[in-house]
Amino acid sequence: MKHKLTTTLITLFISGAILAGAAELPLGGWLQIPILGFIFWQLAKLPAISLKTHLTASASFALGYFVCGLWWIHISLHDVGGMNPILSAAAVFLLSSYTTLFFVLACLPIFYYRKSPILGLILGASWVLAEYVRNVLFTGFPWLGLAETQVHGPFASIAPYLGGLGCTFFVVLSSWQLLQLRKNVRGLLVFALSLTVLSQLPGLWAFTKPTGEPLSIELIQGNFAQHLVFSREGMFRQIQFYENAMIHSQAQLVVSPETSLPWPEMSLPIGTLDRLQDLANENHSTLLFGVIGYHENPPDGREFSNRALGLSDHNPPYRYDKSHLVPFGEFIPPGFRWFVNAFSVPLSDFARGPTNQPLFRIARQNEEPLYAAITICYEDVFGGELATRLRNSDQEANLLINMTNLAWFGASQAPTQQLRLSQLRSLETGLPALRATNTGVTAVLGPDGRVLAELPQFTQATLSAKLQAYSGKTPYVRWGNAPILSLACLLLVLGFIRQKRF
């Protein structure tokens, strides 16, 4: 019996790793469903007498999933940060263990409601609530959820209605239903056909529409190694490159990555901002680039921020300060100064920007201006926060802009993971998106999340394209996560009542 359990635990760990790896494949969103169904089967056939066994088994699957999906954090800690390899490996394991807890909780209905005829619905609801809590607890870390893989899967069309959590619900429900039909060939065929047809129906309705003439854009990818930013010479070389690239651009909108000018705004080389402003005035163009923001006499003592600075034709500069900061990377949680001291990299303790900052105005000659919602790197993970910003803004957003620097994570799957998150944000909002990154993936996305153009990773290049702006709001932007969370709570209450009754 003990040997059989050990085999099951190893199988679940490997299956979790395969589930994470499948996300990188072209049909990852479709493959996700049978793989998760197999994992549910392994959990469902465990003896019903031991909660401890069930918790251990579900933790084994989740740990395999997150260790495989988040291993690239080791690159930032060890390769870039100079942390002891044992400590960096331990940090990856501890973060994976933390995120594992949420998947363990999500799988509890398999143990408690295993005889319920609506277990698939209860399991989907449990997963939605667990993922929502992971999204908000301790500032949230929802990276590597099930939803983003669905940008290449059957439930992409659910995102404009119910967001990423809605996609998660249907992935879990479908995986459970597939498990129930595993011995019924005819049922499996009907299920596959129904899934294909029904998953496409929501996509027949569009909630946003093109507005104005296409906008000429340029996205600059500098491909600077992260260690260069830790020397004065490397910083000024990077500043010079991006300044020259922007000055020689003829596009209406030019976007450079997060901290592309890695120096405090008020201390940039003399004349840099004046030259860029003159360019914007002369070409009637708009420039957007990353700098280090500075705040005089801040109440919390944090003088600097991660800032996007926009310059446009004869308009005051636009400033967006990153609001959702990365724990340890951009702010130091209380009691963890010792952990940061293990790095040889000077990490930041940035000021947090307000959540209600105005949208970025993109001026156009002889046409109405466009408005863009900016996210800086990690902020693109939080679809609910972006939907709230768009819903509460005084202006209507026409496109999304994400500015990122993933040089910290080297040649790993981190860039493609964040690309899928950006694609999910476009699906949820019905808006096209621009991704300007230091090392990749720099890309132009359509309102349906499709990649319209992209640069190869780890190349120094400029992506020139035409972007069609859109107007309108999807149901998800209008209502956020309230509908799917309400449904999840209702299903859990219904499941509890049925369990008590029978």
Active centre residues (catalytic)? 258, 322, 377
Question: What b/e sequence results for 361-397 when a residue is b if at least 16 CB atoms lie within 10 Å of its CB, and e otherwise?
Answer: ebbbeeeeebbbbbbbbbbbbbbbbbbbbbeeeeeeb
Distance CA(58)–CA(92), nearest Å, equals 19
Residue among 365, 360, 367, 348 nearest 306 (CA): 348
Residue 502 corresponds to which tokens in the numbers above? 């029978």
157 contact partners, CB below 8 Å, separation of at least 6: 199, 200, 201, 202, 203
Biggest alpha carbon distance in the chain? 77
Q: Rounded to 5 degrees, what are φ and ψ at 374?
A: -95, 135
Residue 148 corresponds to which tokens in the numbers above? 């983003």
Check: CB of residue 401 under 8 Å from CB of residue 379.
Answer: no
The answer, yes or no, to whether the previous bond of 340 is cis (omega within 30 of 0) is no
Distance CA(222)–CA(112), nearest Å, equals 53
Give start and end residues of each alpha helix (H) in 184-254: 185-200, 232-247
The single-letter code of the amino acid at 347 is L
Distance CA(139)–CA(249), nearest Å, equals 38
Query: Tokens 């699957």 label which residue?
Result: 61
Residue 429 to residues 157, 435, 436: CA-CA distances in angstroms? 12, 16, 19
Query: Tokens 């040089």 label which residue?
Result: 407
Check: CB of residue 240 under 8 Å from CB of residue 254.
Answer: no
Check: CB of residue 199 under 8 Å from CB of residue 234.
Answer: no
Residue 285 corresponds to which tokens in the numbers above? 């163009």
Helix axes 85-106, 119-136, angle to 10 degrees: 140
Distance CA(8)–CA(46), nearest Å, equals 9
Question: In what order do the strands lie in the sheet containing 215-221?
Answer: 318-321, 304-312, 286-294, 253-255, 215-221, 461-467
Residue 276 corresponds to which tokens in the numbers above? 């860029």
Residue among 121, 140, 25 nearest 386 (CA): 140
The single-letter code of the amino acid at 278 is D
